Amino acid sequence: MVSQLFPHRYDPTMGSTRGKVVVAMSGGVDSSVAAGLLVREGYEVIGVFMRLGSPGDILEEACDITNQAKIGKQGCCSVRDAHDARHVAAELSIPLYICNFADGFSRVIDYFVDEYASGRTPNPCVRCNDWLKFGRLHDQARQLGADVVASGHYARLDSYNGYTTLARGRDSGKDQSYVLFGVEQNRINEMMLPIGQFEKSRVREMAREMGLPVFDKPDSQEICFVPDDDYAGFVERRRPELTVEGRIIDTSGEQVGTHDGHHHFTIGQRRGLKVAMGHPIYVVERDPLENTVTVGLREDLESTRCTAGETNWLIPLDAPGEWTPCLAQYRYASDAVEARVRVIENATQKTSSGRPGRFEIRFDEPQTAIAPGQAIVLYAPDQPEAVLGGGWIERALR
């Protein structure tokens, strides 16, 4: 059968078994259907559940590929999620391994806390994809004899200017290409995104058709390691020294109130400021060194430019150093807007602190609440679904 899901990978000489694929199974409906589709396509599928909690708990009826059964009870993937993944694997008649990635996930948590403490707005989901799901998991896949890792993300692989790159998922409301932008170019041909061409409703229908017990399981809506959405509380439990009273000032530097720690605020925040000025005000800046929070009008949030670092290019720019049209998306839940990009520092080598290289973005129209620390992802203007690359916002210029 010629694959309609992965035509670029079809090899008629492979017969009914078309290669070994590791699927990152979270116990949710998306990754479960991804595994089911690959089984239907004739691949030899191996499920891997990434245990991301703190070491110490025993997960019954599961062991990881390093024969270490002690894993955490809190984190992205709970014991219940592991059991759901196990039941799905049994229904699909595929093996499931439990991998303890708690040590790697602690890096994601440390990053989250450090970014808030430094006055930036982190995006741990992107880092988790870069470092674990399409980073360390690939190393585990090779130990299992697989060269390809699949996941249940709503994104696709497509071609642009002769390169294979990421592309938006068909379900625009669920598209996750933004959170995958950091996957390195050399990983693109080692990944599969089986559900990227489907609407979410169709994915649930397929789960029911496959007899998967998670067909109606709710989606996760919060950062996995902060289930109560109390980001500030989570940060200050790890960095109690941040709970220090500071000044709330206006854009002229005049004090208008006080706060209990700058980590309680994010750029663009309007509610919960506990300051009355007779008109709507927003957080426009956080200064961790001075422990101040600056508030202002909505127009004070507008920026015409920004710079970004830790660049990851999936498609090389035709004229590096010159202004190139693009579409820029600077928040997960926002639309890409017309802009121009210019490389201001080339990425010549990989460093332990991340990808070097920086670029500057000029927006065709002023944009609101661009937050340092967030990812900015660039798409092709003539093929708006294709990801060119991206980076991490350093500074918004107003």
As beta bridge partners, residue 389 has 313, 378
Is there a catalytic annotation at residue 63?
no
**CA-to-CA distance for 361 and 363, rounded, in angstroms?**
6
Largest CA distance in the chain: 73
Give the CATH number of domain 244-296: 2.30.30.280
Is there a catalytic annotation at residue 224?
yes
Which residues have CB under 8 Å from 10's CB, separation 6+?
Answer: 2, 3, 18
Residue 291 in contact with residue 307, Cβ under 8 Å? no
Q: From the candidates 125, 128, 306, 326, which is the catalytic residue?
A: 128
pLDDT of residue 354: 52
pLDDT of residue 60: 37
**CA-to-CA distance for 291 and 299, rounded, in angstroms?**
23
Q: What are the per-10-residue average pLDDT scores of the chain (398 residues)?
A: 43 52 95 97 95 50 34 53 94 94 89 95 92 88 93 96 96 95 91 96 97 90 78 92 95 96 94 91 96 96 96 89 95 95 72 68 97 97 97 92
Using the structure block, give the residue that is written with the tokens 């949030």: 301
Range(s) for CATH 2.30.30.280 in the chain? Answer: 244-296
CATH class of 17-152+194-209: alpha beta
What's the Cα-to-Cα distance from 49 to each of 65, 81, 83, 195, rounded to whole Å?
Answer: 11, 9, 10, 18
pLDDT of residue 62: 36
Strand order in the sheet with 96-100: 96-100, 44-51, 20-24, 148-150, 191-192
**CA-to-CA distance for 123 and 111, rounded, in angstroms?**
9
Alpha-carbon dihedral sign for residues 142, 145, 148, 151: negative
pLDDT of residue 333: 87
Range(s) for CATH 3.40.50.620 in the chain? Answer: 17-152+194-209
Which residues have CB under 8 Å from 308's CB, separation 6+?
Answer: 358, 359, 360, 361, 376, 390, 391, 392, 393, 394
Q: From the candidates 76, 77, 125, 224, which is the catalytic residue?
A: 224
| Tokens read off for 385 | 């679904």
CATH class of 301-397: mainly beta
**CA-to-CA distance for 112 and 123, rounded, in angstroms?**
7
Range(s) for CATH 2.40.30.10 in the chain? Answer: 301-397
